[in-house]
Amino acid sequence: MLGRFRNLVFVIVASLAAPRAEVPVAKDALDFHVKDIDGAEVDLGRYRGKVVLMANVASHCGHTPQYVDLQALWEKRRDQGLVVLGFPANDFLSQEPGSNAEIKEFCSAKFHVTFPLFEKIVVKGKGQAPLYAWLTSRKTEPVGPGPISWNFEKFLVGRDGQVAARFAPGTSPSDPKVVAAIEAELAKPKSP
């Protein structure tokens, strides 16, 4: 028990000590430009008016099977206005070591992923992508603001571009709380 407590204290202290990127000025989560998995620039503003589920993903993680549920959500709800976005990151035990091309091939071949994937980014600490600096600075429920804790942390962004919810890595995309939050956001009218 003492060993587990010591490990927890180490993780907390390391998280607090990790350098954070400066939080960029942005009106919402869709006020950013990123590169897709093929290197093309994407204005996330193209998703304004939709409900967006963003996740930092990795190919060699215990949570990697969540790709199945992310894909299922995308297929079931995209006609209702849901978009799923995957952001590969190698920030946790080097669980996403491949190139963008290798990541794309893995996701396609192993999990038949068709939702948008983006180039590998840094989601925590030095070199953190501006989008993730902004996302992790928001007051959110049920997980509050602060650094990404592991692969497959999920942010639900409403039609207004604001973060509506944040879910821990171990929370499956098919969890009733996640599905209920998505449905609640989809039920809201589109902004004028």
Give the domain extent around 120: 20-187
Mean confidence (pLDDT) of the chain: 89
> What is the CATH classification number for the domain harbouring 129?
3.40.30.10
The three-class DSSP label of residue 12 is helix
17/114 Cα distance (integer angstroms)? 37
Q: Is 151 exposed, middle or buried (0-12, 13-18, 19+ CB in 10 A)?
A: buried
| 61 tagged catalytic | yes
Q: Is residue 71 part of a domain?
A: yes
Per the structure, how many domains does the chain have? 1
Q: Is residue 7 part of a domain?
A: no
Tell me which of 61, 179, 184, 186 is the catalytic residue. 61
Give the phi and the psi of residue 163 in degrees, each rounded to 5.
-70, 120
Q: Is residue 38 part of a domain?
A: yes
Q: Is residue 2 part of a domain?
A: no
Q: Is residue 11 part of a domain?
A: no
Q: What is the value of pTM for the model shown?
A: 0.86
Q: What is the pLDDT of residues 108-131, one digit of tens each?
A: 999 999 999 999 999 999 999 999
Q: Is residue 35 part of a domain?
A: yes
Give the orientation angle of helix 66-77 with respect to helix 176-187, to 10 degrees. 30
- Work out the number of other CB atoms within 10 angstroms of the CB of residue 167: 23
Q: Is residue 15 part of a domain?
A: no
DSSP code of 124?
S
